[in-house]
Amino acid sequence: MRIPPIALAWLIAVSLTYAQEAPASLRLTPKRLTNIKDAYPLLSPDGSKILFESDRTGNWEIYIMNPDGKDVVQLTNNTAPDQTPSWSPDGRKIVFASERDNDSESTS
């Protein structure tokens, strides 16, 4: 499920979103995972990692972290914007858009 970017957003994990009448165990319980300009979080198919894009260095790069927000690893390092990452169905590859030749295209 893709979550749209929010200007100057941070990533927030939520268990489930339900109305007030939902049982207490199913109510929204947000937890801030990062507090910097991050966007497009995607949980891996097995739920073990979160893939996201970030402008935390002043350049959009692709990152991965644990579902608790720890162990952030930068996957790309290029002066061109690298954004909108996505997992392959088996979770073994990622794809993202980059403008490395001044023309947005997908890279894996």
Residues that bind Ca ion (CB under 5 A): 59, 61, 78, 82
Distance from C-alpha of 60 to C-alpha of 103, rounded to nearest angstrom: 15
Shortest approach of Ca ion to residue 11 CB, angstroms?
Answer: 18
Residue closer to Ca ion, measured from CB, 90 or 105: 105
CA distances (Å), origin 63, targets 3, 4, 16, 47, 72:
16, 17, 24, 16, 7
CB of 52 to Ca ion, least distance (A): 13
Residue 55: what residue type? Answer: D
The answer to whether 41 and 63 have CB atoms below 8 angstroms apart is no
Nearer residue to Ca ion within complex by CB, 34 or 53 = 53
Nearer to Ca ion, 59 or 107 (CB): 59
Q: Please, what is the minimum distance in Å from the beta carbon of residue 29 to Ca ion?
A: 33
Quick check: 74 and 63 in contact, CB under 8 A?
Answer: yes
Nearer residue to Ca ion within complex by CB, 12 or 86: 86
Q: How far is the CB of 98 from Ca ion (least distance, A)?
A: 7
What is the chain's alpha carbon radius of gyration, rounded to the nearest angstrom? Answer: 15
The closest residue (CB) to Ca ion is 82
